[in-house]
Chains A and B, each alone.
Chain A
Amino acid sequence: MASTLSAPAFDKPISIAILAMGGQGGGVLADWIVAMAEQQGWIAQSTSVPGVAQRTGATIYYVEMLAPKDGKLPVLSLMPTPGDVDIVLAAEFMEAGRSMLRGIVTPDKTTLIASTHRSYAVGEKEMPGDGTADPQLVVEAFGVAAKRTIVFDMQTLAEKNGSVISSAMFGALAGSGTLPFGREAFEGAIKAGGKGIEASLRAFGAALDRATEGKPDKVAKKPEKDLPEPPRSVGQPQLDALLGRIHSEFPAALGPMLFAGIKKLVDFQDVRYANEYLDRARDLLALDRKANGEAHGLAFSQEVAKYLANAMAYDDVVRVADLKTRASRFERVRKEVGAGKDQLVYTTEYMHPRMEEVCGTMPAALGQFIEDRKGLYAFMDRFVNKGRRVRTGTVFWFAGLYMVSALKPMRRTMLRHKREMAHVAAWLDTATRLLPVNYDLATSVIGTRRLIKGYSDTHSRGEAKFDRVLSAVPMLEAREDGGAWLKRLVQAALHDEKGKALDGALATIRSFAN
């Protein structure tokens, strides 16, 4: 009896969990690890639960290995036990987060190897605003959960070497030194694998070096905004005059955003248009100062500098035609699709003009005349309103778009322009009326412009949300935190397409009023 009670010797196998998404080659990686261990005379076992996770879902592969003793086969586990995993490989950054949530990363034993790249989940992508998760939280949890981390962008490294992420992760695993096998053993497994050996070895080697170096890649939700100080001169008199105005008429803090604004508006229309923008910004700055804006760091004018530029550079047919026909765009497409020098590239644009856009491009009076006649409008719409495949690289279609973009000088007379300017005026009126009463709220009203985006139906939906958010202004006017609430409404409006979150937020605000 006593002998059975003494603890039997348990040589712990090395345990490895791989968290990947369908199609990332997690299975290939597990196979390599097993093959390598077996070639080295170890006993290795792997399992997975693919099921429906094959398609974009998250899945986990699990490997255990042990050096055999006296020819006996060990009993290995088919699943990871929280707190008992030596190595975790995450093939995407949020999956590293998931591995910690599953409890398989613990500070006493786990080396966490994770790629910093993001592959957004559908829930992150479908939001009308920015629904992407903050990777910084994963970085912060590393310190709590992992014994050691090796993090860099293995996806990009693999692509650069013409391979896929599994080979880079295998390299990182080799570089981590957590397995008792040399580089040749790892490479042997790749060579025995069969397909794409050379590229796999290249990516493997690069990742191994990278992991040995040990410098982690920085992670950030998004890149820093590019906001340079406006230069004094760019060597073109008309543009220099614009720059001069920024330097002389505005405080330095507004310079970078105003510079971004005039860049966009000169490109959208012309120098005169950018001057109009600066005129408005200057007038609003005066009102800002009158409302004791300095005490608020001129937040109102900052917002104006950004959103007025966006409002004035609305998206219309002329703009689209202009952007699509530029030489720089032709080049960019070639680069994006990775076309080689000896390959030809033709683009086909998917466009769906409606009578609304046609009228919008007409002189205001004529456009209005047609719009007012429902029968005529509907009749014409039947010919206009259909999807069109525009082959921009052919002379015929290029000429068509080129001619539309050539209407640019007439833009100021167009119906669309008239409407956009009326909309801008009403928006600014609301904001300037509030400015002396509730500075924060006025500033938030300017920021509400973020909701207007897109074309056609998307644009109308955005405008409807914009109107609904602004409908709360009378209820918020008297509240000190009115500005913060309006900002919350904008966030809510960006949360889902149908505006359910916005309905909820508006109901909350109405409850204040009662």
Chain B
Amino acid sequence: MAERSFAREVEDLKLSEGELFRGEGILAITKALLQSGVAYVGGYQGSPISHLMDVLSDAKPVLDDLGVHFESSASEAAAAAMLSASVMYPLRGAVTWKSTAGTNVASDALTNLASSGVVGGALIILGEDYGEGSSIPQERSHAFAMKSQMWLLDPRPNLESIVKSVEDGFELSEASNTPVMLQVRIRACHVHGQFVAKDNQKPKHTIKEALENPVRELDRIVLPPQSITIHDRDKIEKRWPAALQFIKDRKLNEHFGPEEGPVGIILQGGMYNSVIRGLQLLGLADSYGNSAIPLYVLNVTYPLVDDEVVAFCAGKQAVLMVEEGHPEYLEQAVATALRRRDIQTVLAGKGTLPIRGDYTAAVLMKGVEKFLGEHAPQYLGNRPPLPSADAVLADPKVKALADVVPARPAGFCTGCPERPIFAAMKLVEQELGEHHVSADIGCHLFSILPPFNIGGSTMGYGLGPASASAFNVDAEKRSIAVMGDGGFWHNGLSTSVGNAVYNKHNGVIMVVDNYYSSATGGQDILSSRALNPLRSTNNSITKAVKGIGAKWVRQIDRTYDVGKMRDTLKEALTSDEEGPKIIVASSECMLNKQRREKPLFSKGVKDGKRMVRERFGVDEDTCTGDHACIRLSGCPSLSLKHTNDPLRDDPIVAIDNSCVGCGNCGEVSEAAVLCPSFYRADIIYNPSKTDLFMARVRNAVIGFFQRRRQARRIAFA
């Protein structure tokens, strides 16, 4: 297990009726699932929903009490397929992943699930990773809802609304026999807020009951001709109208502000707070969201309830559609609804607002101002001065900062075991020239950035080696593909390694094994090394690749051995053997290792045990300030220091106290023949009697010679 405890968060899951929950959005969703009588939960970790998975992993007693089955799925496809349990059985199930990355992976299963329809509520919680800080391409989950005819919830970003949306989502799913997606944007996942909790509910039907009483309904199975005849008809003639009815009856979409007005704003629920802030700044809303402009808030963004849209628009001169991302699916749907009923209200949307990019409060403030300026200028009469940084940003002194404020690309943590792998790769490049390097998804991706600048593509999780598959011809150079252990088990084993073995690809595949799915927060996976009583771990990657026919396989158990890494990589690039050359480079993720070992070390020291701490240092007399070591490492603890020595021009290298003594810098300087400045200091806490005796002897001998030389040395003080 990753050595981080979520015990405090688990306590929040136990809150009962009337108690105040205070915390993060994603944790509120977790609690809402239990309040809704969910029978099973699955998912694949990733920002911004990792927390949901992590907390449930640690919440076994709570889940056991309720009879909820939880599992960490092998991939989003596995998680989506898990919802199959709700097709025949009245079981409430929820799965979660990062979207759209995970929704892409899950698409196959979602298509089939949506075709079959469900009898138990099926909820898919999507961490919508869009906008600033996003780590994936900018696409919208909305498209998936449209193509599969699943419903999409986009609640207002406060805990109360989000929690209500979870509960509504299950009911909507059951009322319309359709899986429901609930999208929560990054900031909403991490928002700290509050809601009044309810008691957790045991599932009305349990997995056990279902398993022991199998049901088989031919009509629900995706098989021709059912999928064309029954499912297609059901989707349009039964499920769609049922959903519309439920949304209307339960008033899932909300209205704010005056009932009538010359203009109005239609917005995605997730945009609510930013729209309100825009209105507040324009003097058109108070602190509590009371708006002078009629607002129609879509907590359900798919399907659109045409009747509600028309009722809102009719009688208004113009409406503004606030829809983040592109294409503008909602605006098109609203336009169609108005056109079909021949409503002549002007529809503003993209154009008044930017076509692309984050819809921040500032962007919305300007967009609403423009909209009102064109269609209802009377609202802009008594405006307070709008906040603006334009004057500051136009000042030459502030502009000058653009040249000096450094970019801060994400990089490997201090002591990361992946750093030496890429240092070795750089050394090989110096010898054999640059190669085509396909990267994958995961921490190792940071090697694309400075100082390594290695890697030319990423195509998706577990697809690194597959994305090099075209480069399978005779040539002077071979392709190198890198994949993490997370990607390997996600689907890399078959899609990437199997593909390369079958097609006799001669390229090099580097599997970076750091014992966890580290980039997503250090979750266990099949090859994790620690014993996990709840899961099967310690399944070797090397054995797996050999099992599917790989011949040239090298296991390196200490990635910090830069010389060995370099030589193995060179061998892989030059070996005559046919088929992929697979290097499994294994060392534990330092972040997780430190979490485990630091407390043990402190306890050992406290208990008076002999403990040795290692850390590295640089001799400032011998460092000449070339920084080659930094270019081969980029370790955060390896920094610079300006000296007051008048004979030196350039800052020297210094290692700060965050050093964890991984040894990479020493190994690199040795392998790359850099300089003798690095030293490792072994600090012995609570030295033993033998230690003390040896130290006395050594000090006596060494001290004698040191004093002798010092006495003879002529030097300025």
Which of the segments A137-145, A199-207, A423-431, A433-441 contacts the partner chain?
A137-145
CB of B132 within 8 A of chain A?
yes
Q: Decide: B695 and A143 in contact? CB cutoff 8 A.
A: no
Check A125/B639 contact, CB under 8 A, given A8-B284, A49-B190, A338-B657: yes
Residues of B near A124 (CB, < 8 A) are 406, 640
Residues of A near B669 (CB, < 8 A) are 350, 352
Residues of A near B410 (CB, < 8 A) are 22, 52-57
CB of A44 within 8 A of chain B?
yes
Q: Decide: B702 and A398 in contact? CB cutoff 8 A.
A: yes
A220 vs B519: C-alpha distance when bound (angstroms): 37
Q: Mark B383-402, 1 if CB is under 8 A from A, else 0.
A: 01011111011010110111
A503 vs B682: C-alpha distance when bound (angstroms): 44
Q: Decide: A7 and B283 in contact? CB cutoff 8 A.
A: yes
Residues of A near B389 (CB, < 8 A) are 82-83, 103-106
Which of the segments A71-79, A277-285, A477-485 contacts the partner chain?
A71-79
Residues of B near A342 (CB, < 8 A) are 686-687
Q: Decide: A34 and B192 in contact? CB cutoff 8 A.
A: yes
CB of B684 within 8 A of chain A?
yes
Residues of B near A315 (CB, < 8 A) are 622, 624
CB of B274 within 8 A of chain A?
yes
Q: Which of A255-286 contact B (CB under 8 A)?
A: 256-257, 260-264, 266-267, 270-271
Q: Decide: B401 and A141 in contact? CB cutoff 8 A.
A: yes
Residues of B near A5 (CB, < 8 A) are 292, 378-379, 381
B221 nearest CB across to chain A (Å):
40
Which of the segments A210-218, A246-254, A317-325, A504-512 contacts the partner chain?
A317-325
CB of A292 within 8 A of chain B?
no
Q: Which of A60-118 contact B (CB under 8 A)?
A: 66, 69, 72-79, 81-84, 94, 97-98, 100-101, 103-107
Q: Decide: A94 and B619 in contact? CB cutoff 8 A.
A: no
CB of A450 within 8 A of chain B?
yes
Residues of A near B398 (CB, < 8 A) are 100-101, 141, 144-145
CB of B213 within 8 A of chain A?
no
Q: Decide: B646 and A350 in contact? CB cutoff 8 A.
A: no
CB of A371 within 8 A of chain B?
no
A257 vs B102: C-alpha distance when bound (angstroms): 64
**CB nearest neighbor in A for B386:** A83
CB of A501 within 8 A of chain B?
no
Partner of B402 from A101, A227, A494 at Cβ < 8 Å: A101
Q: Which of A336-392 contact B (CB under 8 A)?
A: 336-339, 342-352, 354, 387, 392
Q: Decide: A455 and B392 in contact? CB cutoff 8 A.
A: no
Q: Decide: A350 and B401 in contact? CB cutoff 8 A.
A: no
A51 vs B128: C-alpha distance when bound (angstroms): 12
Q: How large is the interface on B (under 10, 10 to 19, 20 to 34, 35 or more residues)?
A: 35 or more
CB of A413 within 8 A of chain B?
no
Residues of A near B280 (CB, < 8 A) are 10, 75
CB of B705 within 8 A of chain A?
yes
**CB nearest neighbor in B for A261:** B647
Q: Decide: B639 and A58 in contact? CB cutoff 8 A.
A: no
A138 vs B625: C-alpha distance when bound (angstroms): 26
Which of the segments B164-172, B567-575, B670-678 contacts the partner chain?
B670-678
Q: Decide: A387 and B563 in contact? CB cutoff 8 A.
A: yes
**CB nearest neighbor in B for A145:** B392
Q: Decide: B710 and A327 in contact? CB cutoff 8 A.
A: yes
Which of the segments B62-70, B233-241, B541-549, B629-637 contacts the partner chain?
B629-637
Identify which of B405, B412, B631, B669 gathers the most chain A CB atoms within 10 Å of its CB.
Answer: B405
Partner of B640 from A132, A320, A336 at Cβ < 8 Å: A132
Q: Which of B579-593 contact A (CB under 8 A)?
A: none
Partner of A75 from B135, B289, B680, B705 at Cβ < 8 Å: B289
Partner of B407 from A54, A121, A137, A343 at Cβ < 8 Å: A121
Q: Mark B538-565, 1 if CB is under 8 A from A, else 0.
A: 0000000000000000000000000100
Q: Decide: A79 and B274 in contact? CB cutoff 8 A.
A: yes
B183 nearest CB across to chain A (Å):
15
Q: Decide: A49 and B283 in contact? CB cutoff 8 A.
A: no
Q: Decide: A132 and B651 in contact? CB cutoff 8 A.
A: yes
B467 nearest CB across to chain A (Å):
20
A502 nearest CB across to chain B (Å):
15
Residues of B near A141 (CB, < 8 A) are 395, 397-398, 400-401
Q: Decide: B192 and A123 in contact? CB cutoff 8 A.
A: no
Q: Mark B699-717, 1 if CB is under 8 A from A, else 0.
A: 0011101110010001111
B664 nearest CB across to chain A (Å):
11
Q: Which of B252-268 contact A (CB under 8 A)?
A: 257-258, 261
Residues of B near A30 (CB, < 8 A) are 192
CB of B228 within 8 A of chain A?
no
Q: Decide: A47 and B190 in contact? CB cutoff 8 A.
A: yes
Check A130/B649 contact, CB under 8 A, given A77-B274, A125-B627, A339-B683: yes
Q: Decide: A323 and B622 in contact? CB cutoff 8 A.
A: yes
A456 vs B628: C-alpha distance when bound (angstroms): 12
Q: Which of A1-32 contact B (CB under 8 A)?
A: 4-13, 21-23, 30-31
A144 vs B644: C-alpha distance when bound (angstroms): 32
Q: Decide: B284 and A144 in contact? CB cutoff 8 A.
A: no
Residues of B near A333 (CB, < 8 A) are 617, 679, 681
Identify which of B292, B384, B673 gathers the most chain A CB atoms within 10 Å of its CB.
Answer: B673
Q: Decide: B624 and A453 in contact? CB cutoff 8 A.
A: yes
A384 nearest CB across to chain B (Å):
12
Check A129/B401 contact, CB under 8 A, given A351-B670, A354-B673, A387-B671: no
Check A343/B687 contact, CB under 8 A, given A55-B410, A327-B706: yes
Q: Decide: B642 and A223 in contact? CB cutoff 8 A.
A: yes
A458 vs B632: C-alpha distance when bound (angstroms): 13
Chain A interface residue count, CB cutoff 8 Å, equals 150
CB of B446 within 8 A of chain A?
yes
Residues of B near A159 (CB, < 8 A) are 657
A77 vs B402: C-alpha distance when bound (angstroms): 27
Identify which of B290, B387, B701 gathers the most chain A CB atoms within 10 Å of its CB.
Answer: B387
Partner of A462 from B621, B626, B643, B703 at Cβ < 8 Å: B626
CB of B129 within 8 A of chain A?
yes
Residues of A near B446 (CB, < 8 A) are 55
CB of B218 within 8 A of chain A?
no
B45 nearest CB across to chain A (Å):
14
Partner of A345 from B627, B634, B681 at Cβ < 8 Å: B681
Identify which of A137, A337, A346, A354 gathers the most chain B CB atoms within 10 Å of its CB.
Answer: A337
Q: Which of B268-292 contact A (CB under 8 A)?
A: 272-274, 276-277, 280-281, 283-292
Residues of A near B507 (CB, < 8 A) are none
Residues of A near B642 (CB, < 8 A) are 130, 132, 221-223
Q: Decide: B285 and A8 in contact? CB cutoff 8 A.
A: yes
| For the complex of A and B, 8 pairs with smallest distance between CB atoms | A103-B389, A49-B133, A83-B387, A222-B642, A387-B670, A121-B406, A453-B624, A8-B286
Give me the interface of A with B, judged by CB distance under 8 Å: 4-13, 21-23, 30-31, 34, 38, 44-59, 66, 69, 72-79, 81-84, 94, 97-98, 100-101, 103-107, 119-130, 132-134, 137-138, 140-141, 143-145, 159, 221-227, 234, 236, 238-239, 256-257, 260-264, 266-267, 270-271, 306, 309-310, 315, 319-320, 323-327, 329-330, 333, 336-339, 342-352, 354, 387, 392-395, 398, 402, 450, 453-458, 461-462, 494, 497
Give me the interface of B with A, judged by CB distance under 8 Å: 22, 47-48, 129, 132-135, 157-158, 186-188, 190-193, 257-258, 261, 272-274, 276-277, 280-281, 283-292, 360-362, 365, 378-379, 381-382, 384, 386-390, 392-393, 395, 397-398, 400-402, 404-413, 443, 446, 449-451, 519, 563, 615, 617, 619, 621-622, 624-628, 630-631, 634, 636, 638-640, 642-647, 649-651, 657, 666-667, 669-676, 678-687, 691-692, 695, 697-698, 701-703, 705-707, 710, 714-717
10 pairs, A vs B, C-beta closer than 8 Å:
A47-B188, A51-B133, A77-B273, A98-B405, A226-B646, A315-B622, A348-B682, A350-B680, A395-B697, A450-B650
Contacts A11-B287, A261-B647 supplied; 7 other A-B pairs, CB < 8 Å: A8-B285, A75-B288, A81-B365, A257-B646, A348-B680, A395-B697, A453-B624
